[in-house]
Amino acid sequence: MSTHKVSCPNRTCNIFNKTFVETVNNLILDKNLIHPQTINNIDSLKDSFVLLEITEADLIKIIHSMANKKSAGLDDISPYLLKSCIPYIAKPLLELVNASIRDGIFPSILKKSVVSPIYKGGTKEDASNYRPITLVPTFSKVLEKVIVNQLIAFLDKHNILNKFQFGFRKKHSTNDAIATVIENIIDNLNDKINCNCVSLDLSKAFDCIQHNILMDKLYKYGVRGIPHMLIKSYLTNRTQQVKVLHRETNEIKEYLSSSLPVKFGVPQGSVLGPLLFILYINDFPHLTQGRSIMYADDTSILNMGQNINELQYITSTNIGVVEKYFEMNDLFINPTKTHCIFFQTKQCRQDYKYKILVKNMEIENVNSINFLGVEIDSTLSWDVYIDRTCSRISRNLFLLNRLAKLLDLKGRRMLYYGLIFPFLSYGIVVWGNSAKALTKRIFILQKRAVRYTAGLKPLESCRDSFIQLKILTLYSMYIFQTILYATNKCNCTVNKQVHTHNTRNKNDYHKWVHNLELYNSKPSVAGCIFYNKLPNSIKQLDNKNQFIRELKNLLINRCYYSIDDYMNDKFCNAGQLYMLHVILHYIFCEFVGL
């Protein structure tokens, strides 16, 4: 695309808007890939989704559940403002929402979006190097939230959403998706099965959704009648304008482009749009012989084979199925950003390179891939990811040190959780058990951050500060998150399911025989090992929130500086503590002569 250097802000707005709309239109229309049919692999559900009218209490609850944002669409009404006004407008707003539900019509005034272009890299004069960030009217989000709440309940009841789709779902996160990928890879390596991963990149996936295909799939999933009409009304006749800010002397002014129709896609800044997208590709994971793990449009396909030749054949076959599926659904794979990685152990490292074609282009074989922000290397050593994480933490440590001198303890603690904690906690269930030398590098940086937060000198011990500030050490954080992952996300086997003996460890998790030492670093296995080590007073807690609270307090107060410290710790139960108290009391009495 040709670049544009424009000084007129009005013209700039229109160039951006035209680029954003025409990029998608050309991608679909120029290739003539509009199909009335899709791969028919969805069984039609007998039950139908019924969208019920809501009460005033339901409406107020929905509005108060919205984030306290001050950003607004074309109506200039933010969620923050709406929350302040809701006591006065609840009744008329409720009537408008219920009228839409009854008639199956989404108000046209709520289908106007405003787009802000955000620079993402490359030449700044090229409008295609900007990412469109969409804002929809706040009232639109309210009505969408009503639809989403009831639709998700219907989907969950009938178990429609694929369990390997982790995007935009409650109790599903990027950490869960990353852990699932690693669990599957380690299982294959442990069973001596050859395994690779093809990381797919889709071009403008949200913007290329074909409405007729989506509506057909929704009908099969049980969205029929008036709810079907309402969602179709929501998608059709949408328009967008681009907003840019321009500084004139000492004043910043907003400029809006003219409106352009949006013929394809779902609004990314909306509440309903992401759910419609994952329903659009919900049937995809059933097609391949491998394991497809998805977070919205971020897709990784794990291929398995008993030998290299079988693995190459299965990979090529799966790629063919994937290409056909995306072509039939008007989604487009970008071959230049699609990569393949072959996984192997450090002991059996070989240089496997084989030719895989996507859209008649050979994709690159790489030694590491980035999946949801975590760099996964071919031997799961995590050195690439930890190098990058250490660099990011080091940059933020400089900022923390400078700002800490201006803030009180509470402010410094908040700064720690804003600048340092996200890098320590993200994906730790998969990389937290890597080589000691690697985790020690991050732990040293964490201790420096805690010293800045607590106001300590550079070489002063910070062990007491971890406890006083109630901050988990890196290793305690890893133990905490893996235990929660194993107990909440994994259907792990307990000893009493394996044998009938009435042993004192019958409620502990069972340890399975494995071939690789790497197997112990699986999040589910590591979590079970750590859970079994816990004192009975915590393991016997039935209340989930109480269990989490007591577990965290234990890890904070013990302040572990390594995983070995935890595994070698001798926990005392209530009976042992009582006996210790009696013995100490007896010794004290003997000492004072009582």
**pLDDT (0 to 100) of residue 588:** 57
* Mean pLDDT, residues 102-107 taken together: 96
Whether 119 maps to a domain, the answer reads yes
Asked if residues 276 and 222 have their Cβ atoms less than 8 Å apart, the reply is no
* Mean pLDDT, residues 249-269 taken together: 86
Percent of the chain's residues with pLDDT above 90 = 56
**pLDDT (0 to 100) of residue 594:** 52
Give the amino acid at 330: D
**pLDDT (0 to 100) of residue 530:** 94
Of 277, 293, 328, the residue at which a domain comes to its end is 277
Residues 253 and 392 in one domain: no
Residues 265 and 121 in one domain: yes
Whether 324 maps to a domain, the answer reads no
198: left (phi over 0), alpha (psi -120 to 50) or beta: beta
Average the pLDDT over each of 25-29, 128-132, 465-469 and give the range with the smallest value: 25-29
Computed over every residue of the chain, the mean pLDDT equals: 87
Residues 510 and 387 in one domain: yes
**pLDDT (0 to 100) of residue 587:** 63
Distance, C-alpha 537 to centroid of its chain? 33
* Mean pLDDT, residues 371-399 taken together: 94
38: pLDDT strictly greater than 60: no
**pLDDT (0 to 100) of residue 36:** 45
39: pLDDT strictly greater than 60: no
Long-range contacts, 44-50 (Cβ 8 Å, 24+): 44/219, 44/220, 45/158, 45/160, 45/220, 45/221, 45/222, 46/222, 47/158, 47/222, 48/222, 48/223, 48/224, 48/225, 49/150, 49/151, 49/154, 49/221, 49/222, 49/223, 49/224, 49/227, 50/227
Whether 198 maps to a domain, the answer reads no
**pLDDT (0 to 100) of residue 415:** 95
Q: In the structure, what pLDDT confidence band is assigned to residue 582 with cuts at 50, 70 and 90?
A: low
Whether 364 maps to a domain, the answer reads no
Residues 402 and 264 in one domain: no
Residues 388 and 531 in one domain: yes
Whether 309 maps to a domain, the answer reads no
Average the pLDDT over each of 264-273, 300-309, 585-594 and give the range with the smallest value: 585-594
293: pLDDT strictly greater than 60: yes
- Tell me the three state secondary structure of residue 342: strand
**pLDDT (0 to 100) of residue 435:** 86
* Mean pLDDT, residues 20-39 taken together: 64
Q: In the structure, what pLDDT confidence band is assigned to residue 593 with cuts at 50, 70 and 90?
A: low
Residues 434 and 550 in one domain: yes
- Beta bridge partners, 255, equal 244
212: pLDDT strictly greater than 90: yes
Q: In the structure, what pLDDT confidence band is assigned to residue 429 with cuts at 50, 70 and 90?
A: very high
Give the DSSP H/E element, type plus range, for residue 98: helix 79-103
**pLDDT (0 to 100) of residue 494:** 78
Whether 190 maps to a domain, the answer reads no
489: pLDDT strictly greater than 50: yes
The two tokens of residue 411 are 């402010």
583: pLDDT strictly greater than 80: no
Residues 253 and 389 in one domain: no
Number of structural domains the chain divides into: 2
pLDDT tens, position by position, 60-86: 999 999 988 888 888 889 999 999 999
Residues 82 and 215 in one domain: yes
Taking the model in full, what pTM does it have?
A: 0.87
580: pLDDT strictly greater than 70: no
Percent of the chain's residues with pLDDT above 70 = 91
| 474: containing domain | 383-577
Of 247, 277, 307, the residue at which a domain comes to its end is 277
Residues 271 and 419 in one domain: no
The DSSP secondary-structure symbol of 124 reads T
Residue that has been written with the tokens 């989000």 in this structure: 141
pLDDT tens, position by position, 561-579: 999 999 998 875 544 444 5
**pLDDT (0 to 100) of residue 5:** 58
Whether 373 maps to a domain, the answer reads no
Residues 273 and 387 in one domain: no
**pLDDT (0 to 100) of residue 2:** 46
* Mean pLDDT, residues 398-405 taken together: 92
* Mean pLDDT, residues 95-117 taken together: 94
Residues 554 and 405 in one domain: yes
Q: For residue 471, with 0-12 CB atoms within 10 Å meaning exposed, 13-18 middle and 19 or more buried, which class applies? A: buried
Whether 283 maps to a domain, the answer reads no
Give the DSSP H/E element, type plus range, for residue 48: none
Of 255, 277, 299, the residue at which a domain comes to its end is 277
241: pLDDT strictly greater than 60: yes
Q: In the structure, what pLDDT confidence band is assigned to residue 351 with cuts at 50, 70 and 90?
A: low
* Mean pLDDT, residues 125-131 taken together: 84
Residues 251 and 391 in one domain: no
Asked if residues 138 and 75 have their Cβ atoms less than 8 Å apart, the reply is yes
